[in-house]
Amino acid sequence: MTRDPRDHYCAIDFGTSNSAIGVPGADGGAMRLVELEPGHTTMPTAVFYRADVPEHGPEPWRLYGRAAVAAYVDGLDGRLMRSMKSILGSALVEQTTDVGGGRGVKYLDVIGGYLRHLKALAEAQAGGPIVRAVLGRPVYFVDDEPERDTAAQAALERAARQVGFTEVAFQFEPIAAALDHERGVAGEELVLVADIGGGTSDFSLVRVGPARAARLERKDDILASHGVHVAGTDFDRRVELAAILPLLGYGALGVARPGEAPREVPSGIYFDLATWHLINTAYVPARLSEWRGMRSWFADERLHRRLMAVLENRWGHALAAAAEQAKIDVAMHGRATIDLDVVEAALGATLDEATAAAVLEADLQRIVDAAHETARRAGVAGERVDALYFTGGSTGLSALVQRIAAGFPRAAVVRGDRFASVASGLAVYAQRLYG
């Protein structure tokens, strides 16, 4: 007997850095996360467009997840796309970008292609087509601009419908995390969910408990939600600007002219190199030509030589990856050694915990303030919060967790799965909505 396609549904956590998808178990049983790659239920939100194979040839011209990152690291000819979620709500979403091989792709179609890949993997495990989906969304795609925020969700829904989802619902990511936490709660709690991922830091103050868990409509249990568009990719950017790009001339001075103080080297190229979705704009031929002619702007010509090596060899994403790894190393070990041999033999940098804390201070404070603002909007004193539930990749920064926890002295600190809690909670919501 053929099952109605409406019997199949899924929950998608489309994240800035990593994504996951959940489907019902056999015969409509408990939701489970799909194995997206061997041994992994989460997958990097990354697409690599190969310039060395035809679009409709025997080999795939698009690679996803870890395979996409590996292709880039291995030096295959093509274009790596990451942090696609960050373009939602911006003018870039309808623009076409060069992906190599003389081909151009709309940014929204990049997102659609990634969603189609997730959908195909889920359908293979669900045993049939999936037409209904719950997608997670941050509290704010764009801070303090409601029209752009609405446009961002509409663009994501449009991409989902273009790949075959006919019913699309949304749930806030921190609410999804609260639903995941609720499954292990013995009594009623007032929990502040902190979902701090790659692109946004979102907070929700939620009532949870066994007596409330069966309700589909939980609006009355959500006392307040708030968020800021600051998170892991911003940390990476700060680290790269502070520890890596000065070795390429960021913040450097030019040659002093008689009677004048030396001027700083123009910084725009460095900010683009530190921003994932803008890195490839630094490789445009006209821009390369402009910077080749700017050697005289640098008092230290070595800095210009290193910068040009990065631009001409398209090593920008490698530097961004090195910054991300440095952030992780500092969080885990208190210090990072950054190897930049790819740019110049024996070139490197170090980053210690104190420097990282100073570099990230403004961003960390904005996130802490957002947590307090959430409680303020709910009219709840910090002492009344029973639990803090942390999820998202950037909650690996213990200093950030400790600073948030300091404002809620009675609250138990609970750490969810940094990469799968939101997906698991979205799956719970999807089963209640569609199952």
Listed in sequence order, the residues at least 6 apart from 128 whose beta carbon sits closer than 8 Å to its beta carbon are 3, 5, 7, 8
Q: Quick check: 376 pLDDT over 90? A: yes
> Which pLDDT score, from 0 to 100, does residue 28 have?
65
pLDDT value of residue 4:
56
pLDDT at 7: 64
Per-residue model confidence (pLDDT) at position 394: 87
User: What domains can be seen in the chain, in order of their start residue?
Assistant: 5-172+424-434 (3.30.420.40), 188-231+363-417 (3.30.420.40), 233-358 (no CATH)
**pLDDT tens, residue by residue, 348-370:** 999 998 899 899 999 999 999 99
Give the tens place of pLDDT for each residue, 387-399.
999 998 888 888 8
What is the structure's pLDDT at 309?
97
Confidence class for position 2, pLDDT limits 50, 70, 90 = very low
Q: Is the pLDDT of residue 3 over 80?
A: no
Mean pLDDT, residues 108-137: 95
The mean pLDDT value for 326-341 works out to 90
pLDDT surpasses 70 at 70:
yes
pLDDT at 1: 36
pLDDT at 116 over 70: yes
- Among the residue ranges 52-56, 250-254, 287-291, 377-381, the one predicted with the least confidence is 52-56
Interval 240-280: pLDDT, tens: 999 999 999 999 998 888 888 888 999 999 999 999 878 88
Rounded average pLDDT over 100-105? 89
pLDDT at 294 over 70: yes
Phi, psi (deg, nearest 5) at residue 391: -145, 165
- Can you give the pLDDT at residue 262? 87
> pLDDT for 20-45, tens place per residue?
999 998 766 789 999 999 999 999 99
Tell me the pTM. Answer: 0.81
Q: CA 81 to CA 278: how far, in whole Å?
A: 10
